């Protein structure tokens, strides 16, 4: 089985995981959680989003979180930035990497950021250029790559055009998102093969949601095509915005378990990861949906 | 991606799924559920177990279930049989296929069926021979193949010896079980490769548990090695006997979703499958853990 020896996991729980949680978590608890994550060996944490506070009230304390956390020099701290205004706040708090975002689907992009795809590019370009002038790296999220709740399938040429435009802006890495959790391993394999005709697999991260149970199989399919960077959310925190309460993000703890079993190095300490997951579980006052966290909670109950 | 065009799913929910459920389901409801399963297009259902009623009270009505169901001529109806006594009852109700079982781990075998592995073979041989004389096909379950809660790793030679002995008895297919859900795709891939040196992949079914989130990735790894038969339990019904309440069997509905997305034919109607899952969900008065069933319940709530 030809898979990478090492995989980089980008922890998106504090942003993507938390953003759909209706109960506002106190800033102090977010900081404690991110500090715990910083000590797991994980090398990348997306800590929050600098969108307008009214869009995502849960993340309206992005600045305070960024200022409050203890920085581990081995960790890249990133945040979502929608435009130049958000970038200003992100830069003011000394974020390491800036993530811009758009959708591969015209309708989803319109509903999500109220702009056409064509009108989105100049906004992202301005953010990317300024961020790079400030010495930051820039990451791009492309959502609904594997299917859109409004448009269904997304044409490959449309996606390729978006990738071209974003890479031209100097964006270092694109995270291809299965926003609604409809991807399957064959589709993942083919898409990466097709993209690899133009770009190295190292330029892409894959961002899977486990809404229909395919996330881990999709990871395997992606690894078999040379992908070695995956976004994940600790404990599987994060829902599907189109079916409230359903399973959301691929769980970091489940992913790390599988990778370590396969002798793939992640640099992450699984035990510390579980301890960090327990922290946010206590804050949320509900059990997290990952298989690892479910197993642990039941083991603890039966002990 | 080199995967089979067709996959056969063996529905084990009425036996493996139900056996850990503490609340006894009325026989009539089991019959209705199996009848619904029979009309989904699935070609194989393990309806119960003819172990001594005191071992598994939930399945003590195996005979009544076998007599009560409406047989679809396109479906093979199977049941677990531990010994000649159980076989008598299974034959009396006209079961199509008989499943014998043992463990690849000496300790697990001892704890589970109170015999050494060496002492188990003659018992299974007697069942297999009689069943075949009666014109039945025989399936063998080998559990803890990918790891044992008492012994840890199982040596390949030990497993191979068990396979040899069971095939020599005229058993047609062996279902290799990841009883405690510790398998990973690399391990699955290697094991099948190694077994394929002696036996065709068509002689094996894989039986995964999703206790740690790896089941679907394990299916993909197995398919890539030519395996085209998988056991699964509708709705993910069934627990892990070593951590009560944790996730258990690979879910038929999630598996069928993924396979159909990959254009792998299963013969199963996904919609009818979900309807059958709702039936048993009502009987159990709790929501089933599969991603599909979770998604549906949340979609229905939010509508």
Flag if A298 and B243 touch (Cβ within 8 Å): yes
Nearest CB to A301 within list B182, B184, B245: B245
What ipTM was estimated for this complex?
0.95
Which residue of chain A has the CA closest to B186? A262
Closest CA to A235 of A284, A280, A290, A275: A290
Closest CA to B252 of B7, B2, B3: B7
| For residue B247, pLDDT beyond 70 | no
Structural domain includes residue A2: no
pLDDT, tens digit, for every residue of A208-255? 999 999 999 999 999 999 999 999 999 999 876 665 656 689 999 999
Neighbours of A123 (CB within 10 A): 16
pLDDT, tens digit, for every residue of A9-66? 999 999 999 998 989 999 999 999 999 999 999 999 999 999 998 989 999 999 999 9
d(CA A114, CA A128): 19
Q: For the ranges A286-290, B134-138, B171-175, which has the lowest average pLDDT?
A: A286-290
Q: What is the mean pLDDT of residues B161-166?
A: 98
Q: What is the mean pLDDT of residues B86-99?
A: 98
> Burial level of A303, CB count in 10 A (0-12/13-18/19+)?
exposed
Q: What is the mean pLDDT of residues B262-269?
A: 98
Structural domain includes residue B261: yes
Residue A13 structure tokens? 């729980």
pLDDT on residue B239: 72
Closest CA to B33 of B211, B284, B302, B296: B284
**Which residues of chain B from 16 to 75 reach within 8 Å of chain A, CB to CB?**
none
| For residue B263, pLDDT beyond 70 | yes
Does residue A285 sit at the B interface (CB-CB below 8 Å)?
A: no
Q: What is the mean pLDDT of residues A266-280?
A: 97
Q: What is the mean pLDDT of residues B137-149?
A: 96
Q: How far is CA A216 from CA A42, A264, A268, in A?
A: 19, 14, 18
Structural domain includes residue B84: yes
Q: Are B2 and B33 in contact (CB under 8 A)?
A: no
Flag if A220 and B185 touch (Cβ within 8 Å): yes
Flag if B240 and A295 touch (Cβ within 8 Å): yes
Task: Give the helix/strand (H/E) hosting B231.
Answer: strand B229-232
Task: Judge whether A240 counts as a catalytic residue.
Answer: yes
* pLDDT > 70 in chain A, percent: 95
Nearest CB to B186 within list A1, A219, A257: A1
d(CA A214, CA B216): 7
Dihedral angle, C-alpha B272, B276, B281, B287, nearest 10 °: -30
d(CA B186, CA A260): 11
pLDDT on residue A95: 98
Flag if B291 and A1 touch (Cβ within 8 Å): no
| For residue B221, pLDDT beyond 70 | yes
pLDDT on residue A226: 98
Structural domain includes residue B67: yes
pLDDT on residue B303: 36
Residue ranges of alpha helices (H) inside A226-267 are 252-261
What b/e string do you get for A163-198 counting C-beta neighbours within 10 Å, with b at 16 or more? bebbbebebebbbbbbbbbbbbbbbbbebbeebeee
Structural domain includes residue A3: no
pLDDT, tens digit, for every residue of A67-86? 999 999 999 999 999 999 99
Angle between the N-to-C axes of helices B215-224 and A215-224, in degrees from 0 to 180, rounded to the nearest 10: 40
Local confidence band at B248 (pLDDT 50, 70, 90 cut-offs): confident
pLDDT on residue A244: 62
Residues 6+ apart with CB under 8 A from B155: none
Does residue B240 sit at the A interface (CB-CB below 8 Å)?
A: yes
| For residue A273, pLDDT beyond 80 | yes
**Whole-number average pLDDT of chain A:** 94
Local confidence band at A301 (pLDDT 50, 70, 90 cut-offs): very low
Q: How many domains, chain A?
A: 1
Local confidence band at A297 (pLDDT 50, 70, 90 cut-offs): confident
Domain that holds residue B152: 8-302
Pairs of CB atoms within 8 A across A/B: 133
Structural domain includes residue A199: yes
Does residue B292 sit at the A interface (CB-CB below 8 Å)?
A: yes
Structural domain includes residue A137: yes
Which of B102, B113, B240, B296 is flagged as catalytic?
B240
Alpha carbon of A244: minimum distance to chain B alpha carbons (Å): 6
Q: What is the mean pLDDT of residues B86-102?
A: 98
Query: Where residue A23 sits, what CATH number does that domain have?
Result: 3.20.20.70
Local confidence band at B301 (pLDDT 50, 70, 90 cut-offs): very low
Does residue A194 sit at the B interface (CB-CB below 8 Å)?
A: no
Nearest CB to B298 within list A190, A219, A244: A244
| For residue A300, pLDDT beyond 60 | no
Q: What is the mean pLDDT of residues A263-272?
A: 98
Q: What is the mean pLDDT of residues B91-104?
A: 98
Nearest CB to B217 within list A186, A217, A295: A217
Q: What is the mean pLDDT of residues B77-86?
A: 97
Structural domain includes residue B3: no
pLDDT on residue A248: 86
List chain B residues with CB under 8 Å of A190: 1
Alpha carbon of B302: minimum distance to chain A alpha carbons (Å): 7
**Whole-number average pLDDT of chain B:** 94
């Amino acid at each position: 089985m030809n898979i990478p020896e090492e995989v980089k996991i980008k922890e998106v729980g504090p942003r993507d995981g938390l953003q759909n949680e209706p109960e506002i978590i106190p800033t102090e608890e977010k900081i404690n959680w991110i500090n715990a994550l910083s000590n797991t060996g994980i090398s990348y944490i997306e800590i929050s989003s600098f969108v307008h506070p009214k869009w995502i009230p849960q993340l309206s304390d992005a600045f305070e979180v960024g200022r409050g956390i203890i920085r581990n020099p081995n960790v890249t701290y990133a945040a979502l930035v929608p435009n130049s205004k958000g970038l200003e706040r992100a830069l003011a708090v000394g974020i390491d990497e800036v993530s811009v975002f758009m959708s591969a689907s015209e309708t989803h992009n319109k509903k999500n950021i109220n702009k056409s795809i064509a009108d989105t590019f100049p906004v992202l370009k301005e953010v990317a250029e300024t961020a790079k002038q400030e010495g930051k790296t820039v990451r791009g999220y492309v959502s609904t790559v594997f299917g859109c709740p409004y448009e269904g399938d997304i044409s490959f040429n449309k996606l390729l055009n978006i990738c071209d435009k974003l890479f031209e802006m100097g964006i270092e890495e694109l995270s291809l998102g299965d926003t609604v959790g409809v991807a399957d391993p064959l589709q993942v394999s083919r898409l990466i093969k097709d993209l690899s005709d133009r770009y190295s697999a190292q330029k892409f991260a894959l961002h899977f949601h486990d809404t229909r149970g395919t996330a881990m199989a999709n990871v395997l399919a992606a690894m078999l095509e040379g992908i070695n960077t995956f976004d994940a959310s600790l404990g599987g925190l994060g829902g599907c915005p189109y079916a409230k309460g359903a399973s959301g993000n691929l769980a970091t703890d489940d992913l790390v378990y599988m990778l370590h079993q396969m002798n793939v190095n992640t640099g992450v300490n699984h035990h510390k990861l579980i301890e960090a997951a327990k922290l946010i579980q206590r804050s949320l006052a509900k059990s997290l949906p990952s298989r690892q966290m479910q197993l642990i909670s039941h083991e603890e109950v039966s002990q």
